[in-house]
Amino acid sequence: MEKIYDVVIIGAGPAGLSAGLYAARAKMSALILEKSKTGGQIASTEEVANYPGSIENASGPSLVARMVEQCKEFGAEMEKDTIVSVKFDEKIKVLVGEKNTYYARSVIAAPGASPRLLDVPGEKEFTGKGVSYCATCDADFFTDFEVFVVGGGDSAVEEAIFMTRFARKVTIVHRRDELSAAKSIQEKAFKNPKIDFMWDTVITEIKGDGVVEAITLKNVKTGETTEHQAHEDDGTFGIFVFVGYLPQTGIFKDLLDMDKAGYFITDDNMKTNIPGVFAAGDCRVKSLRQVVTAVSDGAIAAVQAEKYVENNFHDEA
């Protein structure tokens, strides 16, 4: 008979690794499944300066490596596989992957969310080298530099306002002629002397040699293109993209409760609408998506999964 795990964790980002650590330390049989790169978004972050204890300027990959080592030290298993479908209608949960099928008494869904990309030449090449999707993470690197913020919603405008604490100038680039952010947020931005606006404009290319040095801008109404070069004394500038996130929750559609954007709806204990299924990390509805909140979610989910298994499968022990 196939092995039945106490908990199967989908996703090996900070939330999933934290869940795996807590589950394994509680002597649960725990399996962490990851379809691509262990560590999620943080794996491509060069410096994690806002994670408590990272006084040695830990990089994303080094922090992830330590998390993985801890998980394995306490007995958590890890495998590479892509889950393509799940069955949650029985007491034992079934997860069907491209490689194998997995069985679990409880499940923690931590598939994460990915920033929506501009999808222009140079974007991927300069991610982490001038292009960022997290002001809280990277604003400090652009102290006294010029910064462009792409987007017009609440997140984009709020992050632009936040960036003015660091950058000497912030320009919001928006493809429309008015912002979609809440009026109260707009008012703050319009009153901020450090913020300029480029309306009806999109970035079509990002250029540089090792770091961002120039961008090509296009007016969507006139078709006119211009190029902005870094100031010669700076040599670079920042591009912060806030055009939305894409939660990786598609396989759970019509099974787990989600909001309109596809984020899992949970209670404070990470419980979903299905008993024994929990969600953690950037994939769920929350006000702050950071490593520190992801690992918190994972810890809570694992503790709750342990209680669920104890209460519902104690006769099998």
CATH of the domain at 44: 3.50.50.60
Same domain (yes/no): 22, 68: yes
138 is catalytic: yes
Identify whether 97 is part of a domain.
yes
pLDDT of 151 higher than 80: yes
Using CA atoms, how far apart are residues 172 and 186, in angstroms rounded to an integer?
Answer: 11
Please tell me which residue in 6, 71, 81, 137 is annotated as part of the active site.
137
Identify whether 18 is part of a domain.
yes
* Structure confidence at residue 221 as a pLDDT band (50, 70, 90): very high
Can you name the residues that pair with 277 across neighbouring β-strands? 107
What is the predicted pLDDT for the residue at 47? 67
Same domain (yes/no): 173, 75: no
Same domain (yes/no): 164, 261: no
234 is catalytic: no
What is the predicted pLDDT for the residue at 54? 74
pLDDT of 1 higher than 60: no
Non-local CB neighbours of 52 within 8 Å, separated by 6+ positions: 292
CB atoms within 10 A of CB 154: 16
Host domain of residue 279:
4-115+245-316
* Structure confidence at residue 45 as a pLDDT band (50, 70, 90): low
Domain final residue, candidates 241, 276, 295: 241
Please tell me which residue in 6, 81, 138, 297 is annotated as part of the active site.
138
Same domain (yes/no): 60, 92: yes
Using CA atoms, how far apart are residues 310 and 317, in angstroms rounded to an integer?
Answer: 9
CB 22 within 8 A of CB 299: yes
Mean pLDDT to the nearest integer, 13-38: 95
Higher pLDDT, 60 or 242: 242
Same domain (yes/no): 255, 234: no
Identify whether 121 is part of a domain.
no
* Structure confidence at residue 44 as a pLDDT band (50, 70, 90): low
Please tell me which residue in 71, 81, 134, 297 is annotated as part of the active site.
134
Using CA atoms, how far apart are residues 12 and 64, in angstroms rounded to an integer?
Answer: 9
pLDDT of 91 higher than 60: yes
**What is the residue-averaged pLDDT of the chain?**
93
Q: Pull the structure tokens for residue 13.
A: 């980002």
User: Comparing 26-40, 170-184, 291-305, which segment has the lowest mean pLDDT?
Assistant: 26-40
Count helices and strands (H / E) in the chain.
6, 17
* Structure confidence at residue 2 as a pLDDT band (50, 70, 90): confident
Identify whether 37 is part of a domain.
yes
Name which of 29, 28, 9 is nearest 112 in CA terms: 9
State the Cα angle at 119 between 202 and 124, rounded to 5°: 115
DSSP H or E stretch at residue 108: strand 101-109
Pairing of strands 101-109, 93-97: antiparallel
Mean pLDDT to the nearest integer, 52-79: 87
Determine the residue type at 241.
Answer: V
CB 238 within 8 A of CB 167: yes
Identify whether 120 is part of a domain.
no
Same domain (yes/no): 208, 283: no
Counted domains in the chain = 2
pLDDT of 110 higher than 70: yes
CB 247 within 8 A of CB 113: yes
Identify whether 123 is part of a domain.
no
What is the predicted pLDDT for the residue at 290? 87
Same domain (yes/no): 236, 251: no
First to last CA, the chain: 17
What is the predicted pLDDT for the residue at 48? 74
